[in-house]
Amino acid sequence: MTRILIAEDEPGIALGLEDDLKMEGYDVELTDNGLAAARLATESAYDLIILDVMLPGKDGFEVCRQLRRLGLQTPILMLTAKAQESEKVMGLELGADDYVTKPFGTRELRARIKALLRRGTHSPEHETYVFGEIEVDFSRGELRNGGVPVELTPIEFKLIGLFIRSRGRILTREQLLAGAWGEETYASDRVVDNHIVNLRRKIEPDPANPRYLRNLRGLGYRFDG
């Protein structure tokens, strides 16, 4: 069953949404507090999180930022109160996948939810991702370069998966550590850099002038593949 977490503190909107989504056959959990939303989202597995921006405890932007920093890949749909461009942009920059401006029609919201869930189930983890001469086969846990299997360490494989899922977006060393090594790691930024060097040797046509795994000074790495 598809599980959706709704973090919304306006009872009218929250209960309306809950009813509507339950009628659609979703398993819905409700919270009216940002802190509780962040806790629930990390403790339990959801297929989608609907996050209001203005929430008591912790605002929706902060919750979104925190979850992404922890490496959580669950699709996030933000509910913004104002049709303000800056608010939308900020949400998307913090790692939200989409936004809906209040007041919204249930039909529009349902369509956005379906689109996000579709994207979620077609995540590259179940598929093969190809860039240049490289083919990453997530179902078999294999990477091939020009058709030839390349040996990757488990960490390297996790890293390439993170990069592909976040392609075009900057990932900080902190995010890479949390995503590939786990949140409780004692590994340092330096370890990340060393693994990137090794990974480049395996996937870049010219590792000294990387085309796919770019370093953005002071920010982190971005995958352009």
> Contact positions toward Ca ion, by CB under 5 A?
9, 52, 54
Q: Which is nearer to Ca ion, 37 or 162 (CB)?
A: 37
Q: What is the dihedral of CA 2, 158, 221, 174, to 10 degrees?
A: 80
Q: Which is nearer to Ca ion, 9 or 29 (CB)?
A: 9
Helix (H) or strand (E) holding 101, with range, is strand 98-101
Q: Which is nearer to Ca ion, 37 or 160 (CB)?
A: 37
Q: Which is nearer to Ca ion, 96 or 152 (CB)?
A: 96
23: left (phi over 0), alpha (psi -120 to 50) or beta: alpha
Shortest Å distance, C-beta 60 to Ca ion? 8
Shortest Å distance, C-beta 55 to Ca ion? 6
Residue nearest to Ca ion (CB): 54
Helices 189-203 and 154-165 pack at an angle, to 10 degrees, of 80
Q: Which is nearer to Ca ion, 54 or 109 (CB)?
A: 54
Shortest Å distance, C-beta 31 to Ca ion? 12
Please give the single-letter amino acid code of residue 20. Answer: D
Judge contact between 51 and 76, C-beta under 8 A. yes
Nearest to 196 by CA among 221, 167, 178, 219: 221
Shortest Å distance, C-beta 200 to Ca ion? 45
Shortest Å distance, C-beta 54 to Ca ion? 4
